[in-house]
Amino acid sequence: MAGKTDQEVSGAAKAFLCNGGNGEIARYVVKKQMVLLKHDEQMLIKKGDPQIIRKIAVKLVGILDGTDPEVISIDETIGAGVYHSSIEGAMAAIRECKFAGK
């Protein structure tokens, strides 16, 4: 993106990630998954706990891909699996877009 500052690029990326169809689908899935968490886990995700955010991100990726999130989790315990980049991206979206609340 020639001629754009990092801040402009970051703002454009955030708008793409958080708004529109993809952002709305991710927001909906995360909110549905939040209801299933224990109260203390809900508080941890709102505080930005990376383990809980990863747990929700794995579920989000699994739901969007039609893959059992448990299979994805097992694959990730062995090392960076097929879904690793997707999980990292979902975690960034959950944090940056505040899908789990503030």
pLDDT tens digits for 12-62?
667 777 877 778 888 888 889 888 888 898 888 888 899 999 999 999 999
pLDDT given at position 1: 45
pLDDT given at position 41: 87
Q: Is residue 14 part of a domain?
A: yes
Terminal-to-terminal C-alpha distance of the chain:
31
Q: Which domain holds residue 35?
A: 8-96
Tally of structural domains, the chain:
1
Q: Are 95 and 53 a contacting pair, CB within 8 Å? A: yes
**Rounded mean pLDDT of the chain?**
83
Residue with tokens 């001629």: 3
In this prediction the pTM is 0.78
